Amino acid sequence: GHASRKLVDVMAAHPQIIPYIDMPLQHGHPDTLKRMRRPHNVDRLLHWIEYYRQTLPDAVLRTTFIVGYPGETEAEFQGLLDFLAAVEFDRAGAFTFSPEPGTPAFDLPDPVDEETKHERWERLMAFQQPISLRRNQLAVGKRLEVLVDGADNGLSIARSYRDAPEIDGYVVVEKELPVGQMVPVFVTGAMEYDLVAMPADEPILVMG
């Protein structure tokens, strides 16, 4: 609770703090979370996320889930998908559970078989794709500052505050720009993981 809310208030008051929060949630069903020994009050989490979105409307919310944790039923996995639908994370990654010797989870009963784990991982990623696309589409028409990582063949690959290096997607800018520079761009298109943009200081031709 309070520390998180306070953190969001501080972020909202200081524009120099990047509004990007990575929440280490691991699952979205209370029974699975209990077995993981994680905080499992999902309703409280939903309220917190709602406050976060209201206070920082341009913020990016990312998390990572584990599928196939021992004892995860089909109903619990469905609960995780329902949680994904309710929150609409901007970015969500997933791993299949693998038991590490010496950890409490190593000896847990009811392991999930590899085929089911993999199939749930694929379902989760497919479920999240249209959500990520919708969240990316909200950026279309906005101006962003991007850091140029590379340029070739008339295009630049860049990152905005919404993109953690080597984890998230890119902003593909339709012009070769100087690498290492911060450049203002205007977002013209969205894909599941990446945005398309034009340099903001150039006139945009609207056809029609």
Q: What is the pLDDT of residues 149-196, one digit of tens each?
A: 999 999 999 999 999 998 999 999 999 999 999 999 999 999 999 999
Q: What is the pLDDT of residue 104?
A: 72
Cα separations in angstroms, 145 against 115, 137, 155, 156, 160: 43, 17, 16, 14, 6
CA atoms of 18 and 160, how far apart (whole Å): 10
The answer to whether the beta carbons of residues 159 and 171 sit under 8 Å apart is yes
Q: Is the pLDDT of residue 2 over 80?
A: no
pLDDT band at 36; cut points 50, 70, 90: very high
Residue with tokens 């590490």: 100
pLDDT tens readout for residues 69-116:
999 999 999 999 999 999 999 999 999 999 888 777 777 889 999 999
Beta sheet of 91-96, edge-to-edge order: 20-26, 60-67, 91-96
pLDDT 10s digits, 13-29: 998 999 999 998 999 99
User: What is the structure's pLDDT at 179?
Assistant: 97
The label of the residue with tokens 């609409």 reads 88
Beta pairing class for 20-26 and 155-159: unpaired
Give Cβ neighbours of residue 76 (< 8 Å, ≥ 6 apart).
Answer: 27, 29, 31, 32
**What is the overall mean pLDDT for the chain?**
92
What are the residues facing 156 on neighbouring strands? 151, 173
Question: CA angle, corner 125, sides to 122 and 128, nearest 5?
Answer: 145
Nearest to 146 by CA among 105, 178, 115, 192: 178
Residue 208 has pLDDT above 60, yes or no: no
